[in-house]
Structure 1
Amino acid sequence: MSLSRSPRRRLVGGTLALALLTGLTLAVVGPSDSPAGPGDGRRPVLDIGPVPWPEEGQSAVDLEGTGSLGERGGRRPVPIASLTKVMTAYVVLQEHPLRPGEEGPLIEVDQQAAYEVGVGGESTVPVRAGQRYSQRRLLELLLIPSGNNIARLLARWDSGDQDAFVAKMRRAAGKLGMKDTTYTGASGIEPTTTSTAPDQVRLARAAMADPVFRAVVAGRSVTVPHLGTITNTNPLLDDPCVVGIKTGSSTPAGGNLLWACEVRVGGASRLLVGAVLHQRADTTPSEGLRAAVDSSRRLLTGLRDRLSEPRTEGGAR
Structure 2
Amino acid sequence: MHIPSDHGPIPDRRPPRRAPAPVIWGAAMALLLTALGGWVITSGTEEHQESKPSLSTGALSLPWPQDGQASVTDTRTGASGTSGEQKPVPIASVTKVMTAHVILSGHPLRQGQSGPVITVDQQAQDESHSSVESTVRVEAGQRLTQRQLLEMLLLPSGNNIARLLARWDAGSEAAFVTKMNRAAAALDMRRTTYTDASGLGPTTMSTSDDQLRLARKVMRDATFRAIVATPEVAVGGPTGTLANTNRLLGTAGNIGIKTGSSTPAGGALMWAATTGRGSDAGLVLGVVLHQKPNTTPAEGLDAAFQAAERLAEAARRGGRP
TM-score (ref. length: structure 2): 0.80
Deviation sequence 1:69-104 (CA, Å, 0-9, x none): 110001110000000000000000000111111000
Number of aligned positions between the proteins: 271
Residue 239, structure 1, aligned to residue 248, structure 2: no
Q: Do the aligned residues in 1 keep the contact of 2:215 with 2:285 (CA within 8 Å)?
A: yes
**Which residue does the alignment assign to 1:61?**
72
Residue 155, structure 1, aligned to residue 178, structure 2: no
**Which residue does the alignment assign to 1:83?**
94
Matches within 5 A, 1:1-317: 43-45=54-56, 50-67=61-78, 69-226=80-237, 227-264=239-276, 268-306=280-318
Partner amino acid, structure 2, of 1:270: G
Equivalents in 2 of 1:165, 1:138: separation in Å?
16
Change (3 A) 1:49 1:177: closer
Equivalents in 1 of 2:282, 2:307: separation in Å?
21
Q: Which runs of 5+ in 1 are unaligned?
A: 1-32, 36-41, 308-314
Q: Do the aligned residues in 1 keep the contact of 2:258 with 2:269 (CA within 8 Å)?
A: yes
Q: Do the aligned residues in 1 keep the contact of 2:56 with 2:78 (CA within 8 Å)?
A: no
RMSD: 2.1
Give the deviation of 1:66 after TM superposition.
3.5
Partner amino acid, structure 2, of 1:115: D
**Which residue does the alignment assign to 2:23?**
none
Identical-pair percentage: 54
Query: Which is higher, the Rg of structure 1 or of structure 2?
Result: 1
Q: Which runs of 5+ in 2 are unaligned?
A: 1-49
Partner amino acid, structure 1, of 2:299: E
| DSSP-derived class of the 2:288 partner | strand
Equivalents in 2 of 1:208, 1:136: separation in Å?
16
Give the deviation of 1:161 after TM superposition.
0.3
Equivalents in 2 of 1:167, 1:187: separation in Å?
14
| DSSP-derived class of the 2:275 partner | strand
Partner amino acid, structure 1, of 2:314: G
Equivalents in 2 of 1:68, 1:91: separation in Å?
28
Equivalents in 2 of 1:34, 1:109: separation in Å?
40
Partner amino acid, structure 1, of 2:107: H
Give the deviation of 1:265 after TM superposition.
7.9
Partner amino acid, structure 1, of 2:132: G
Give the deviation of 1:304 after TM superposition.
0.9
Partner amino acid, structure 1, of 2:216: R
Q: Do the aligned residues in 1 keep the contact of 2:267 with 2:293 (CA within 8 Å)?
A: yes
Partner amino acid, structure 1, of 2:78: G
Equivalents in 2 of 1:149, 1:257: separation in Å?
20
Of 218-227 and 246-255, deviating more is 218-227
Q: Do the aligned residues in 2 keep the contact of 1:48 with 1:303 (CA within 8 Å)?
A: no
Partner amino acid, structure 2, of 1:99: R
Give the deviation of 1:43 after TM superposition.
3.7
Q: Do the aligned residues in 1 keep the contact of 2:73 with 2:81 (CA within 8 Å)?
A: yes
Deviation sequence 1:258-307 (CA, Å, 0-9, x none): 00011118951111000000001000001100000011001110111235
Q: Do the aligned residues in 2 keep the contact of 1:84 with 1:186 (CA within 8 Å)?
A: yes
Give the deviation of 1:139 after TM superposition.
0.2
Q: Do the aligned residues in 2 keep the contact of 1:34 with 1:66 (CA within 8 Å)?
A: no
| DSSP-derived class of the 1:54 partner | coil
TM-score (ref. length: structure 1): 0.81
